[in-house]
Amino acid sequence: MPGKEEKEVEECKVNMAEKTTESNSKEEEKKNGSEESPIKNEALSLLAQGRRHLFVKDYPSAVTVLGEACAKLAEIYGELGDECGDAYFNYGRALLEQSREESNLLNEKDVDGDKDDTDDEENEVENGEEKIDEREEKDNEEEKTEKEDEKTLNENEEDKPIDEGKTNNEGKTNDEGEMNDEKTNDEEKSNDEEKTNDDEEDVNNLQLAWEIFELAKVIYSRQNNEAKLAETYLYLGEVSLESENYTSAVEDMKQCLEIQKKILPEDHRDIAETLFQLGVACSFQNLFEESKAFHTSACEVLQLRIKNLKSGCYSEESNSNPFYSVEKEIEEINNILPEIKEKIDDVEDLKREAMKSVLEMTLKGVSSLDGAGSSSQNGNTEKPAATNISHLIKKKRKPEDDLSPKSAKKKQVE
């Protein structure tokens, strides 16, 4: 009897252990996401589609698809899961490029509208004399007809009594006019609301891109993925540049440059691109010397790249990429260098204009003070007349069109 009881107890223990192992395996499967594999596969397929749309520059489709992919991956792994990093990175790029595309379209519409206005003004000036003559003839004819009509109306009013139906018709026409006015006011209000909604969407695209890149930055910094972290800092700087927040743009781009100098060779084209973007951001802050220094450093990096390519330091890249050739890359860099040198000349022009405006304002201020002193020395007790001091107020200088981050295309030096 005791032997049978021991066997039964052992069998019960074995059964309990099997059940616990099965339950533990199920819990592990849940944690690993095996039950959520359909959602995971759908998210990964959406991520691949979004990258494809981004590659072919179909930015609206990329934004919608990558947004869905980010939502599904965050549902599985959490908002700051490691698997969400690449999805956030690509989603932020799509949002940034879509906002740039929309701003470029708006600028093109404004330019076309200005051209149409100038053409209309020129046509009016050319045909002005003919129109004036025609109007004078029409006015004379209308005056004659009005006088004749007044005479006939006066004669008819003396003979016929006032018709009550006419007064009713006049009241109806007034009511219809009021209804039409209300409709036009409603249409104007709806148009204004649509415009405000469009403006909010533009702002939200850049704001959302900044938030998404911030999430990617947290994930990549936790993973110690310095290459992706440097790219994320660069895109954060570009978002700030589009938003005209130049101080944060310079800070983020400097963080990117610091990481790139650690992990990349000194002649890498990514370093040259970051230096170029830093020069653009500094020019908008009126930091002309720093802007010139960054642009000059970008040229030096590219020139060093050409030197190393000619010496045969990067012959291995031709084996990894069948479409690569040293001659082709040297030609690309030689085409980029003149554009950067033009930017340096533009910065010098901006610097001279700024100094000129400052000198003019100071000279005007000194002359106005001299005039006030001479009048007081003459012994005039009367209060001096108020002078116009608008020239002493420092106005914000508008940057040139070719340096605007919204209208100018980003110079690709990569």
pLDDT-based confidence at 390, cuts 50/70/90? very low
Between residues 82 and 8, the one the model is more confident about: 82
pLDDT-based confidence at 114, cuts 50/70/90? low
Question: Mean pLDDT across the chain, nearest whole number?
Answer: 75
Over residues 363-387, the mean pLDDT reads 57
pLDDT-based confidence at 116, cuts 50/70/90? low
Q: Is residue 183 part of a domain?
A: no
pLDDT of residue 197 exceeding 90: no
Q: Is residue 178 part of a domain?
A: no
The answer to whether 341 and 297 are in contact (CB under 8 A) is no
Q: Tell me, what's the pLDDT at 204? A: 76
pLDDT of residue 326 exceeding 70: yes
Q: Is residue 316 part of a domain?
A: yes
Of 349, 364, 379, which marks where a domain is finished? 364
∠ CA 154-160-165, nearest 5°, is 110
Over residues 268-289, the mean pLDDT reads 95
pLDDT of residue 124 exceeding 90: no
Of 335, 364, 393, which marks where a domain is finished? 364
Q: Tell me, what's the pLDDT at 325? A: 87
Looking at the structure, do residues 225 and 276 belong to the same domain, yes or no? no
Looking at the structure, do residues 319 and 209 belong to the same domain, yes or no? no
pLDDT of residue 398 exceeding 90: no
**If we measure between CA atoms, which residue out of 243, 257, 272 comes closest to residue 96?**
243
Which domain CATH number covers 270?
1.20.58
The tens digit of pLDDT for each residue in 149-182 reads: 666 666 555 555 444 444 455 555 555 555 666 6
DSSP states of 328-365: HHHHHHHHHHHHHHHHHHHHHHHHHHHHHHHHHHHHHH
Looking at the structure, do residues 41 and 90 belong to the same domain, yes or no? yes
Burial 135-145 (b: 16+ CB within 10 A, else e): eeeeeeeeeee
Which domain CATH number covers 71?
1.25.40.10
Over residues 111-124, the mean pLDDT reads 58
Q: How many domains, in total, are found in the chain? A: 2
Work out whether the CA dihedral 26, 28, 33, 34 comes out positive or negative: negative
pLDDT-based confidence at 95, cuts 50/70/90? very high
Looking at the structure, do residues 332 and 268 belong to the same domain, yes or no? yes
pLDDT of residue 79 exceeding 60: yes
pLDDT-based confidence at 198, cuts 50/70/90? low
Between residues 332 and 165, the one the model is more confident about: 332
Looking at the structure, do residues 359 and 222 belong to the same domain, yes or no? no
Structural domain boundaries, residue 100: 37-106+204-245
pLDDT of residue 73 exceeding 70: yes
The tens digit of pLDDT for each residue in 49-71 reads: 999 999 999 999 999 999 999 99
Q: Is residue 123 part of a domain?
A: no
Q: Is residue 229 part of a domain?
A: yes
pLDDT of residue 276 exceeding 90: yes
Looking at the structure, do residues 237 and 316 belong to the same domain, yes or no? no
Considering only CA atoms, give the Rg of the chain. 37
Over residues 232-256, the mean pLDDT reads 96
User: What are the structure tokens assigned to 83, written together?
Assistant: 């698997």
> How many whole angstroms separate alpha carbon 208 and alpha carbon 96?
9
pLDDT of residue 361 exceeding 60: yes
Looking at the structure, do residues 220 and 289 belong to the same domain, yes or no? no
Q: Is residue 22 part of a domain?
A: no
Helix axes 85-126, 164-223, angle to 10 degrees: 140
Q: Tell me, what's the pLDDT at 104? A: 83
Between residues 113 and 304, the one the model is more confident about: 304
Looking at the structure, do residues 271 and 311 belong to the same domain, yes or no? yes
pLDDT-based confidence at 292, cuts 50/70/90? very high
Looking at the structure, do residues 209 and 93 belong to the same domain, yes or no? yes
Q: Tell me, what's the pLDDT at 360? A: 83
Q: Tell me, what's the pLDDT at 395? A: 44
Looking at the structure, do residues 50 and 84 belong to the same domain, yes or no? yes
Of the listed ranges 94-108, 186-200, 257-271, 389-403, the least confidently predicted one is 389-403
Q: Is residue 388 part of a domain?
A: no
Looking at the structure, do residues 280 and 313 belong to the same domain, yes or no? yes
Looking at the structure, do residues 225 and 272 belong to the same domain, yes or no? no
pLDDT-based confidence at 113, cuts 50/70/90? low
Of 364, 382, 408, which marks where a domain is finished? 364
The tens digit of pLDDT for each residue in 126-136 reads: 555 555 566 66
pLDDT of residue 254 exceeding 90: yes
Of the listed ranges 39-53, 160-174, 344-358, the least confidently predicted one is 160-174
The four Cα atoms 328, 333, 338, 340 give a dihedral, to 10 degrees, of 150
pLDDT of residue 306 exceeding 90: yes
Q: Tell me, what's the pLDDT at 81? A: 94
pLDDT-based confidence at 45, cuts 50/70/90? very high
Q: Is residue 67 part of a domain?
A: yes
